[in-house]
Structure 1
Amino acid sequence: MTSAITAPTYDPTTTATALAQKYTASAQERITNGTTQATATTKALSTLSSAISAFQSSLASLAGLGKSVLSQSATLSDTTVGSASAKASASAGTYSLFVQQIATAGQVSYNGLSDGAATGGTLKVKLSDESNASATPVSFDVDLSAASADTDGDGKLSIRELASAINRSSGNTGLVSAGVVTIGSETRLVLTSQNTGVANTISLDPSGVGDATLQSGLGNRTMVTAAQDAVVLLGGKSGTPIQQSSNTFTNIDGVSMTFTRAQAASENPFTLTVASNSSGTVSNMQSFVDAYNKLKSAIDTLVDPGDTTASKAAGAFANDSGVKALQSRLVSMLRPSSGLSLASYGITANRDGTLALDSTRLTKQLAASPTGLSGLIGSASTSAPSGLAGSMNTYLNLWSNSTSGQIKQRTDANTKAQTDLTKRQSDLDTQYNSAYARYLKQFTDLQTLQSTMNSNVTMFDALFGSDKS
């Protein structure tokens, strides 16, 4: 007798997994696709934000408030006395100058001091113009108490501990640097002002110091380097003196000069020449072209429709009308409706829409119309936008504004979508687990029933088989 029941063999776990997956497959596909799209959007928005930010930073650097793409140069006829630079706002001109003296920091020493002074009291450090009785000194107090100054805890004050206490004083906000110099067997406390100028002459008032010997020693100052102002004569040796505490002079509008040495009486005055700098302007415009091309390249990649025949995927914003409008608007803003154009200054569009600069043509047009380019590019200042830079920066702010811009709005919406997808995935996981448990129980029960029936068949076969008498 043969078995009357032939049932397929199967694994309940594998079967339950397959059926649960099939049960949730459609919803899982939608969530997976949505998550993939949201992740791609996050990356694309970050790329767009970075590209716009970089371009706006470049605009601010080239044509921000008080700046111009036009470059001016400042040249000293004698470069051994210092260096000079000019902003775009500097007016062309020549100036005769003579450096009578440069500004120096004051340095003093207190000699013959010895370790072992008793702690306690207060030392006052002063900086002032001692030649001007009416000048108000700048000062700070140094606490010489044991807790503050006695760093090794031996109950006495060494010269090095005194120097450290001066440097660490809360009132010493970058005013004075204290050090210790040993010459032979003599230890000296050396104080140096951190700023130049006659008003930084250093002196000590030790009247509040507790130790009498230390008080006496700190009352004897040796001048190492006299603090002095810089003096530059405008108009030559007999010109008008310009005196100040710093060696960097900005008295001529738009020009900065830093002097490193004084001239000898036998030397001749030198000349400062301020003039337009064509090469600098060319460099500025090349920076503008490069910055625009980087922005355009980033946007073009994001809206690229792709090419299925070449297995080239579409950009994340290939079907986004808003980003495509951004792409078109930037191109249109490069073409002013009237007046001079970028093309007249040698800036033209390539076939792919990127910009190219003809430096020879730019230099030639600058000679013919030196101020036209400045008016064409204008200012990217938020408070007073003008020209091409102002228009582009204002429009891009609609995207980059951190509170209400398009990127912020899109990022918020995408974040919400990702949160919703996460919740939907959690809910679907619960559905999957429930379906899996249900199928597993059903097919485990079925497997048990099948095993029982097969066992009965085997028993019947043994009892009533054809070979039995």
Structure 2
Amino acid sequence: MADFSSIDPQTLAQQLATYDILSLQNQLKTKTSTMDSQKKALDALKTALTDFRTAMSGLNGTGDGMLKNAVSLNREGIASVTANSSALKGTYNIEVNKLASAHQIGFDEMSDESIKNASGTMDITLGEGSNAKTITVNLDEMESLSDLTKAINGDKDNPGVTASLIRTDGKVTMMLSSDESGAKNTIAVSGTAGFDSANAKVISQASDSEITMGEMTFTNSSNTLDSLIDGVTIELTSVTENNKPLTISVGTDSTGTKEQLQTFIDSYNTLQDTLTKLTKSGNGDDETRGAFAGDATMSSLDRELNDVMRQMFGGKRMSDFGITADREGKLQIDSKKLDEAIKADPQKLNDLFNGKEGMLTSMDKSLDRYLNSSNGLLKGRQEVLDRQQKDIDTKTEAMNSRYDSSYNRYLKQFTQLQQAMSQMNNTMSMFGLA
């Protein structure tokens, strides 16, 4: 008779319990592998779409679009000038007659002792007429000049006046400065403590900048002129000499414009590479099937992007600027055709890409259908994967419980069998039958 007393109940129980769940285990393994691939693919797609959207946003800023303009000046030291995408090419002659300055007044021979002994109030007013704003400082609470400047600067209702202390040759001057330049931003001081504008020394007059273009004269409260010429910002730093105007020439920056376009093309082609990889059908033996192969949502995304690329915006298509797609759907530039189109009418490039209803805005709307954090299609896809993961987790937990139940049952049975066979062998030994 065979000796079953040497069997290992634990090993046998483990083997049979594993066999009981083998089919379900293989199913869950296949589902988990597929789901993990789709999770990775979804993350890769989100990243690619977000990166592309970020690149588009950088190319579709206010006044900073696809077209880049360059500025040249006939002399240095008068102004710094920049031109954004909306600036029209042209030449402008400007005479700078006066720079804007902020109002500054000072009170001489100040001391901590004079402030400590002062009483009453000090009223500081900025501006004139109905736009004037005033703060009142109680000098009874002041112990030093430092206390006074802190009280002025720290007042929550301060209209835009900064107090500072100027120390020279042992003497102290308290200076009050308007935070903004311009003739309308004047400082006036009055009150019961003896502080009065009549006793103050003017350090800097409040004045507007003044420029002349031909027979027209313009004034501005600051030295920044950002509405004089559309799309051009002028930062004045000095006045011009008589009959020697500053000449500003605005023209297209072809190199900068091509770099902007190349940024867009590179970003789009990178997105296309990702879509191609994720939707690859895997027809050949050496190809790996994409996680989203045959997926209707991914096909819709690719189709939408391509449709937008072929549409007309601002009366132009991308192909009018030498930008076309190759057989793989990737964009490429015909530099010669681009140069000719920009030379003919550079603003049309802006109209195409950056118009109010331009290509980049239209493309962003398409992407929002997929990337919207509230109801985007990719969010919906992620929720489906999350539900599938929960289902797999539930089934895995049930499978583990089934394994434990089977293992314990088999272990009990084989342990009992082992014990019974051991007793039988002992009995047979007693009668010399073993």
Task: State the TM-score, normalized to the length of structure 1.
Answer: 0.75
Q: How many residues are treated as equivalent by the alignment?
A: 429
Question: Which residue identity is paired with 2:384?
Answer: A
Distance 1:268 1:77 in 2: 10
Q: CA deviation at 1:14?
A: 4.2
> 1:298 is matched with which residue: 263, 271, 274?
274
Q: CA deviation at 1:34?
A: 2.9
Question: Deviations 1:112-134 (Å, cap 9, x if unpaired)?
Answer: 120683899876543225xxxx3
Distance 2:204 2:415 in 1: 98
Q: Measured at CA, do residues 157 and 447 of structure 1 come closer, stay the same or move farther in structure 2, by a change above 3 Å?
A: farther
Corresponding residue for residue 256 of structure 1: 232
Question: Which residue identity is paired with 2:389?
Answer: Q
Distance 1:307 1:123 in 2: 86
> 2:131 is matched with which residue: 125, 130, 136?
136
Distance 1:333 1:250 in 2: 34
> 1:114 is matched with which residue: 96, 112, 123?
112
Stretches of structure 1 that go unaligned for 5 or more consecutive residues are 147-155, 208-214
Q: CA deviation at 1:299?
A: 1.3
User: Does 1:429 find its partner at 2:397?
Assistant: no
Corresponding residue for residue 210 of structure 1: none
Q: CA deviation at 1:378?
A: 4.8
> 2:330 is matched with which residue: 343, 351, 354?
354
Corresponding residue for residue 413 of structure 1: 384
Q: Measured at CA, do residues 105 and 316 of structure 1 come closer, stay the same or move farther in structure 2, by a change above 3 Å?
A: farther
Q: CA deviation at 1:192?
A: 3.6
Corresponding residue for residue 183 of structure 2: 198
Q: Is the 8 A contact 1:143 1:169 kept in 2?
A: no
User: Does 1:314 find its partner at 2:309?
Assistant: no
Corresponding residue for residue 93 of structure 1: 90
Question: Deviations 1:238-275 (Å, cap 9, x if unpaired)?
Answer: x4332222222123352333324231544611122334
Q: Measured at CA, do residues 422 and 316 of structure 1 come closer, stay the same or move farther in structure 2, by a change above 3 Å?
A: same
Query: Aligned with 1:233: secondary structure?
Result: strand
Q: Measured at CA, do residues 191 and 442 of structure 1 come closer, stay the same or move farther in structure 2, by a change above 3 Å?
A: farther
Distance 1:145 1:432 in 2: 87
Corresponding residue for residue 223 of structure 2: 247
Q: Measured at CA, do residues 313 and 218 of structure 1 come closer, stay the same or move farther in structure 2, by a change above 3 Å?
A: farther
Distance 1:409 1:38 in 2: 15
Q: CA deviation at 1:144?
A: 7.6
Name the % identity: 28
**Aligned Cα root-mean-square deviation (Å):** 3.9
Q: Measured at CA, do residues 452 and 124 of structure 1 come closer, stay the same or move farther in structure 2, by a change above 3 Å?
A: farther
Corresponding residue for residue 170 of structure 1: 156
Q: Measured at CA, do residues 10 and 331 of structure 1 come closer, stay the same or move farther in structure 2, by a change above 3 Å?
A: farther
Query: Aligned with 1:250: secondary structure?
Result: strand
Distance 2:272 2:167 in 1: 65
Distance 2:155 2:424 in 1: 95
Corresponding residue for residue 21 of structure 2: 24
Distance 1:371 1:193 in 2: 41
Q: CA deviation at 1:6?
A: 0.5
Distance 1:10 1:161 in 2: 95
Q: CA deviation at 1:396?
A: 3.2
Q: Measured at CA, do residues 186 and 17 of structure 1 come closer, stay the same or move farther in structure 2, by a change above 3 Å?
A: farther
Question: Deviations 1:51-73 (Å, cap 9, x if unpaired)?
Answer: 33333444444457777644444
Distance 1:11 1:181 in 2: 96
Stretches of structure 2 that go unaligned for 5 or more consecutive residues are none
Q: Is the 8 A contact 1:232 1:242 kept in 2?
A: yes
Q: Measured at CA, do residues 260 and 369 of structure 1 come closer, stay the same or move farther in structure 2, by a change above 3 Å?
A: closer
Distance 2:70 2:148 in 1: 49
